[in-house]
């Protein structure tokens, strides 16, 4: 299954997809302006901003 946006994950989702989530959040390049979650790809966040811009 494809992981939806990190911003909308529930506790059960985190437990189920922990290994995939670890890959997504390692070496982050983006941060969500709304919830402060990070990701290496902006498609996994709802309000992504490049960390380079900050």
CA distance 9 to 18: 11
Q: Which helix (H) or strand (E) holds 47?
A: none
Buried b (16+ CB within 10 A) or exposed e, 31-51: bbeeeebbbeeeebbeebeee
Report the pLDDT value the prediction gives residue 4, as an integer from 0 to 100. Answer: 77
* CA quadruple 8, 36, 42, 13: dihedral sign: negative
Average pLDDT, the chain: 93
pLDDT digits (tens, 9 = 90+) for 2-28: 787 999 999 999 999 999 999 999 999
Do 5 and 45 contact (CB within 8 A), yes or no? yes
Residue 54 has pLDDT above 90, yes or no: no
Q: What is the pLDDT, as a whole number, of residue 1?
A: 61
Q: Per-residue pLDDT for 38 more than 80?
A: yes
Does residue 44 surpass a pLDDT of 80?
yes
């Amino acid at each position: 299954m494809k992981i939806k946006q990190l911003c909308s994950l529930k506790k059960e989702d985190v437990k189920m997809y922990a290994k995939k989530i670890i890959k997504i959040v390692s070496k982050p390049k983006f941060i969500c302006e709304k919830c402060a979650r990070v990701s290496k790809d902006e498609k996994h966040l709802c309000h992504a901003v490049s960390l380079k811009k900050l």
